[in-house]
Every structure is written in structure tokens, then in C-alpha cells.
Structure 1
Amino acid sequence: MSVPDTTAPRKASRRPIYVAFGLATIFVIVLSAGWIWLRGQADARLDAAVQRLRDAGYEIAWKERSFRGYPFRLNIALTEARIRDRSGWALEAPVLEAQAFVHAPTSWLIAAPQGLTFVRPIGGPVRVEGKLIRASLTHLSNTPPNISFEGVDLKFQPAAGAQTFGLATAERVEFHLRQAPSEVGDEAGVWLSVKSGKAQLSGLLGRVAGDKPVSIEWDGRMTKISAFRGRDWPDAVRNWVRAGGTMRVQRAGLTAGDALLGANSGRLGVGSDGRLTGVMDVSLRQAPRALGAIGAAGAIPQDRADAAAAVATARQTGDLARVTLNFEAGQTTLGPVAIAPAPKVYDPR
């Protein structure tokens, strides 16, 4: 017969609970301190960047600035934000929101949830609204850093009294700027895409495209990209040109209805007058009709449009003509015909 064990059961130790609670408290304290430090760093760096731009002649302002996102994100919100350069270009937004995760404080996502307005020096303001308007800024140590923009279901509305803008709507707009792989050298890739746009009927694109979609593509490589820096846009372009920088066109195209302007190759630069220089080999579809519409719109003199249409017709196979666009001495020539001033990259004044 066995004797029952009358020893009282031992109480479970509470030490693991205290240890877990202590570790959790330390984690919260460290996380909070880290978030506060990151907020301070973001605040200081934003102020420093704004001051550098102001010193270069930019006007930057906002009504309120707030920080949120604790504990795992850093959110910055600016209300009534505005930036304007010396030439008169400006960007305004009722609200700008920027977000970075604590574990990746150099990768920022920027959004304009209430739309934005860009101001043209001559044409005036254009209001932009859409389902999605956002940009990203990453790899800040690269030259250049990675910059992307994406807009979905965009609507463009010029302000009262402003000149018309080429597009009324666009299904998607994308822009990307990337540093080339290290084995390529001192280059950057530039991509631009506009898909399924609708032209303003009163503008030049509207005359060419009618009620059909407009699409734009640009794929280029900028050499000597490390030299593209300065106190403002003209200064950066001049420094880049002095260093021997050029834009190598990989592929480009503008489709407006049945008309097509496609670039097969080219190399572009900028002259001392601020206008585009270089040569592009292009393909033109429905060239006579498109050039006729350009002349009728007054974009180029009618006699020059007629002469350029004759050149395109002479070099046409089927409905496609292969010609050369030259940008030289401030003029754009199609074959031997000077059709218009070369596009202006910056105002040299």
C-alpha cells in the first residue's frame, strides 16, 4: 500500500513573464526612439534641400507640414504646396503626401491624392486630376537617383484664360529616370510613355488625330549624366553640354490617329542658344495629311508645310516615308526644308 504524496504543488515561476514584458518594453522604447530620430532626420534634410533650392532661385512654400506613421512608417504631408523656378514653370498641389518605411528610409513614395496643377510660363496653369497620381524616389546615392512618375486616367483642364493643352485626357502616363548599369558607364536611361490620350480638339494634336487616340513613347540614354547638375535647369544643361553630354535616342514615337512620327535612331544635344541640336532618322506615316494639318493650324508657315509634304511624298513607300530631321542653327529641317525653329530646351536669358 502506497502513501499519498502530501507535498504542496510548487507555484509556476513568473520570471519568463517579467522577462518578456521587459524585452517588449525595451523594443517599444528603441522603436519609438528610432522613429523620433528618423523624423528629426527627415525634417532636417527636407529643410536643407528646400534651402538649397531657394538659394538656387526656386520659390518653395507650403501652408502646413505634418509627420505621422508611427511606428513602422514615416509619413510627411504638405498642404498647399508650391514650387516655382526662375523661368516661370511651377507645380502646385492642395495636398502632397510622402511615405517611407522605417526599414527603408531612403525609398519614398509621393502622391497627390487631390490632383495637382502645373503652370507654364506662357501657356498658363493646367489642372491635372486622375484616379492615381504618384511618384517614387529611391536609390538616392545613385547618379541620378531613381525617379518614377505614374498617372492613371488623367484629365487635363487649362485654367480660365490659359492656352489649350495638347491632351484632354490620358489613360496612363509614365516617366522613369534610372542610372545605367555600372558596366555601361556614366549614363542614365530616360523613358516616357503616354497611352490612349485624347487630344484637345482645338489644338494641333486635335487637328491631326481627330477623335482617335494619341500615344507617345520616348526611350533615350543620356551620356555624362554626372555632369548634369547646377543651381538651376539652364545651369545644369550648360554644364552637361560642356562635359560632352548627349541624348542617344533608342526609340521614340508619336501616334496621332492614323499619323505616325517614329524615330529609329538619333543623337541630340543643346546649343548655346538653348535650342535642340542633332539629327534623328524618322518614319512618317500619313505625312502629307499631317503636315497639311500642321500648316493649317499655323504651327509652321503653309508654304513650308507644303514643301515638307512634297519631300515626304517623294520619299514615301506605301504610306510610310523615311526622312531625316535636323536640328541645327536654331532651325528644324525636314530633309532640305526648314520647317520651324528648333525646340527650346531652356531660355538662355
Structure 2
Amino acid sequence: MTDPAPRRRSSRAWLYAPFMALALVAAGWTGFWFIVRARVVDAVDTALAREAGLGRSWTCTDRAVTGFPFRVELRCGALALASARWGEEVRVQTGPAVAVGQIYTPNLVIAQITGPLQATLPEGRRLDLGWTRLEASLTHASGDPERLSLVISAPTASLTAPGLTAETWQAASLEAHLRRNPTRPATDQAVDLAIAAKGSVLPALDALLGTNEPGDVDIQATLTQTEAFRIGLNPDALEAWRNVGGQVELTRLVSVKGPARIEATGQFLIDQTHRPAGQLQASLAGIRQIAGIPVGGLAAGLGGLLGGRLSAQLPGAAPGLNALPPIVLREGRVYLGPIRLPLQPLPALY
């Protein structure tokens, strides 16, 4: 009797199939990440070349692009900017900086910058900024910014200039947000701006209002004709913005310092002398003087002079606020109604 034919041994290749598939996916993902990395490097180099053509030279010390496998991180040991667009060269330098983009959210970039920031400005001025933490996020579509947010913890700012007393500002926190306005006509080129500062202290403002308590500030505004700033923030851009009728429409300003509260709306632009101009309509409570002028007597006197119209509140203003005469910026001077305040003339912006 013959033995039965031997059974064919079953293949075990399927046991290795998952590992082979995983290796193929890993290899494919690695290749994809390096392609994305190369595109980021090309985009950064193109942006730096475009900036150099506009007179702004950026330096990213010890540049490195890392973040594998799910992120792309652009790191700089220090970040510096030199610009010749203000007549005299402007130099800005910060500490280490990192910008991060997730592979699965390519339209969102998050950045962290380590302070301090030191800026050398025209006419011998110097600006020093400090903070404990600074984070920014940018949402864009096809390279066009759509929303920008900035959050700073414990910011400080000091501005010095030859012949002038140094001004220092500090706060517990500062937030700023910009976005394209979704409701205005495209011809307005409108961008919404929101700024909120907590625990703010500015000696010049304290002297103006006669109080030194920390304050909170909430500002909401809309800037029109913003395409003028595509070339940056410099005299050419400001002049182009002025020529096309760009304005800052202040829709909400609320400042609270201890018992003092100010609410305001207004409109501002740049006049032919390159100084800020416009009008602010404000209501206040808990403030006894502005620049040494008693508010109560001034409001009462001007109210009688203007037919008692100062008792009206701003639309949406909190109850108990008293309206001031219009605060007008004209030819570099500041007026409260028909009275010119005893302040230094506003300097030209450029």
C-alpha cells in the first residue's frame, strides 16, 4: 500500500503582509514629508527674496526645518530685520523663534518668539519690547492672510528718543486679532482689528487722567483700504493708504482704570501733514480731570455753550456715563470741543 501524497505546506506570507504594508506606508509618508519640507523651504526662500526686493532684509540665524513626522517646524536661533524703507535704516532683533505647521492643517501656522525685541528707529529713537510668552497664529488661503492672532503675557514697552523723557508701558496681558471683514464690500478692502489689554499702565495716560491705577482696555476697529499695506508698514505704504482715503473706524473703545471708565467711538485718518487726524466721541465716569482741566465744570460750561447737548450718551454706552465734547485731532493739535488741550503737538508719522 502506497503512502498518501504529502500535503503542500501552506504559505505564511500573509503573516508578514501587515508589516510590509506598514513599511510601505512609512516609506511613503517619509517621502511625502520631505516633499512638503522642500516646498516650505522654497516658499520661505521665495518670501525672503521678495522681501529683499522691497527693501527689507530678514536674517534667520541657524535656520533649521524639522518636525518629522507630522509637523514642519522652521526654527531660528535669532530673528532680525533690517529695513531701509523709513529713510534711515530700521533694525529689529529678537531671540529664538519657531513657526510650526501641521501636515493635516496646512493653512494654519503657529509661531512662538522669545524676547526681548530691540528696535533701532529713525531720528535716534529706540524701542525695547519684552514679554514672558508670545504666541501668534496665522490662517491663510493660497498664501493670502485671512486671520492673525497674537497673545502676549506680561508685555512691556519702552520708547526712548534724544531730548525726550522715556515712555514705558506695561500690562499683565495683551491680545490682538485681525481678520478680513466678511460683510463690507470688497472695494472697502476692510480688515477688522480687536485689541484687549489687561492691567495696563502708561504714565503719560495716568498724568492725563489724574490716576495711576492699572487699567483694562478693549478696542474694536475696522481699517479700510488695507491693500496699501501689502508692501509693508513704511512711509510709502502710509502715503498710499492716505491717498486712497484709508480710515480707521473705531467702533468700540472701553477703558477702565479703577473708578474711571471711558467709552468712545470715532474715525481717524492721516492728514496732508502726515499726522493723525479725526474725531473721537467719548463718554466717561469717575474722572475728575483731563490734562488738569476739571471735567465737571468743563462739561457743564460747554454743555451750556452748546445748548445742553453734552448730556446725551453714546449708543450702547453703559448707564451713568457723561458725554464729553468731541475730541478732535487737527493739524497735530488735540482739542476738547473748542478748547485746545495743553499737550505737545502730535509728531508726523513719516
Residue in structure 2 matched with residue 271 of structure 1 by the alignment: 271
Residue in structure 1 matched with residue 215 of structure 2 by the alignment: 214
Partner-residue secondary structure (3-state), 1:70: coil
Residue in structure 1 matched with residue 35 of structure 2 by the alignment: 37
- The answer as to whether partners of 1:215 and 1:256 remain within 8 angstroms in 2 is yes
Residues 208-260 of structure 1: CA deviation (Å, up to 9, x unaligned): 46552122221011223334433652222332333332222110133344444
Offset at 1:134?
0.6
Partner-residue secondary structure (3-state), 2:58: strand
Letter of the 2:340 partner, please give it.
A
Residue in structure 2 matched with residue 291 of structure 1 by the alignment: 291
Gap regions ≥5 residues in structure 1: 1-5, 293-305
- The answer as to whether partners of 1:187 and 1:222 remain within 8 angstroms in 2 is yes
Partner-residue secondary structure (3-state), 2:95: strand
Residue in structure 2 matched with residue 126 of structure 1 by the alignment: 128
- The answer as to whether partners of 1:124 and 1:163 remain within 8 angstroms in 2 is no
- Map of 1:264-343 to 2, 5 A cutoff? 265-292=265-292, 306=293, 311-312=298-299, 314=301, 315=303, 320-339=322-341, 340=343, 343=346
Q: 2: distance between equivalents of 1:214 and 1:64?
A: 40
Q: After the TM superposition, which of the residue ranges 41-50 and 229-238 deviates more from structure 2?
A: 229-238
- The answer as to whether partners of 1:325 and 1:332 remain within 8 angstroms in 2 is yes
Residue in structure 2 matched with residue 81 of structure 1 by the alignment: 79
Residue in structure 2 matched with residue 151 of structure 1 by the alignment: 152
Determine what percentage of the aligned residue pairs are the same residue: 20
- The answer as to whether partners of 2:48 and 2:57 remain within 8 angstroms in 1 is no
Gap regions ≥5 residues in structure 2: 304-309, 312-319
Query: Is 1:346 matched up with 2:344?
Result: no
Q: After the TM superposition, which of the residue ranges 26-35 and 93-102 deviates more from structure 2?
A: 26-35
Residues 65-94 of structure 1: CA deviation (Å, up to 9, x unaligned): 111110100011111211244446554222
Q: 1: distance between equivalents of 2:275 and 2:158?
A: 28
Partner-residue secondary structure (3-state), 2:155: strand
Offset at 1:319?
7.2
CA RMSD of aligned residues (A): 3.3
Q: 2: distance between equivalents of 1:126 and 1:234?
A: 22
Partner-residue secondary structure (3-state), 1:267: strand
Letter of the 1:129 partner, please give it.
W
Query: Is 1:188 matched up with 2:186?
Result: no
Q: Cα 1:189–1:127, aligned 2, differ >3 Å: closer, same or farther?
A: closer
Q: 1: distance between equivalents of 2:52 and 2:349?
A: 19
- The answer as to whether partners of 2:167 and 2:204 remain within 8 angstroms in 1 is no
Offset at 1:336?
0.9
Query: Is 1:254 matched up with 2:252?
Result: no
Partner-residue secondary structure (3-state), 1:274: coil
The TM-score, its normalising length taken from structure 2, stands at: 0.78
Q: Cα 1:268–1:158, aligned 2, differ >3 Å: closer, same or farther?
A: closer
Q: 1: distance between equivalents of 2:129 and 2:232?
A: 28
Partner-residue secondary structure (3-state), 1:23: helix
The TM-score, its normalising length taken from structure 1, stands at: 0.78
- The answer as to whether partners of 1:324 and 1:335 remain within 8 angstroms in 2 is yes
Partner-residue secondary structure (3-state), 2:154: strand
Query: Is 1:19 matched up with 2:22?
Result: no
Aligned residues: 321
Q: 2: distance between equivalents of 1:17 and 1:135?
A: 48
Letter of the 2:190 partner, please give it.
E
- The answer as to whether partners of 1:145 and 1:178 remain within 8 angstroms in 2 is yes
Q: 2: distance between equivalents of 1:22 and 1:244?
A: 64
- The answer as to whether partners of 1:82 and 1:93 remain within 8 angstroms in 2 is yes
Q: 1: distance between equivalents of 2:118 and 2:285?
A: 32
Residue in structure 1 matched with residue 61 of structure 2 by the alignment: 63
Q: 2: distance between equivalents of 1:31 and 1:345?
A: 55
Query: Is 1:97 matched up with 2:98?
Result: yes
Q: Cα 1:26–1:45, aligned 2, differ >3 Å: closer, same or farther?
A: same
Which residue among 25, 28, 47 is the counterpart of 2:26?
28
Q: After the TM superposition, which of the residue ranges 41-50 and 234-243 deviates more from structure 2?
A: 234-243
- The answer as to whether partners of 1:214 and 1:254 remain within 8 angstroms in 2 is yes
Q: 2: distance between equivalents of 1:11 and 1:229?
A: 72
- The answer as to whether partners of 1:90 and 1:120 remain within 8 angstroms in 2 is yes
